[in-house]
Amino acid sequence: MQVSLTREFACTPERLFSFLEEPEKQKQWMKGLLETQAVGEEQPGIVGSKFRMKIKEGRKVADYDGIITAYEKPKQLGIEMTGPTFPEGAVMHVDYRLADLGGRTRLDYRAEMKCSKPLPLWMRLLMPLFKVFGKVQLWSFMKALQRLAEQPAAGYPARGPN
């Protein structure tokens, strides 16, 4: 299963990237995200660094484990995640790529679920529904991210040079 989206933001790549990588800013646009913590002694922003996200899903809180797979500030952030609501043997690959458009930023988002084991028949039958739900959630997240990233912040211009 793959979901992708391209969207333009009226802010600098540096500002948008801060909302992708900083845990306190992530919580502002990722509905249900309670916390993101580094695991081990690795520094954030280093390929191979591990992290754990606590996400409220309905009435339960689930732990998702992640690893940074690509990091080039402010151009690219790649992660892999595993979690309890994913099928057994599944890994979610997420890639954020930012392009400076001279006062605006284009975000190319791609997420792909890969599974090392065959999915059960019932899950394969429901995959189109999961994909629709994933796109609706992604649109909601991106709308919130855009609203936040385009807000002027003290000491940090939202818009690049005209």
How does pLDDT run along the chain (162 residues), one tens digit per residue?
788 999 999 999 999 999 999 999 999 999 999 999 988 876 767 899 999 999 998 899 999 999 999 999 999 999 999 998 888 888 999 999 999 999 899 999 999 988 888 777 766 676 667 777 777 888 889 999 999 999 976 555 544 444
| Strand partners of residue 71 | 77
Report which of 63, 75, 65 is spatially closest to residue 21, judged by C-alpha positions: 75
Distance CA 1, CA 110 (A): 11
| Secondary structure, 3-state, 61-84 | EEEEEEEEEEEECCCEEEEEEECC
Which domains, and CATH codes, for the chain? 2-149 (3.30.530.20)
List CB contacts of 64: < 8 A, sequence separation 6 or more. Answer: 52, 53, 54, 55, 81, 82, 83, 84
| pTM as predicted | 0.84
User: How far apart, in Å, do the first and last CA atoms of the chain sit?
Assistant: 39
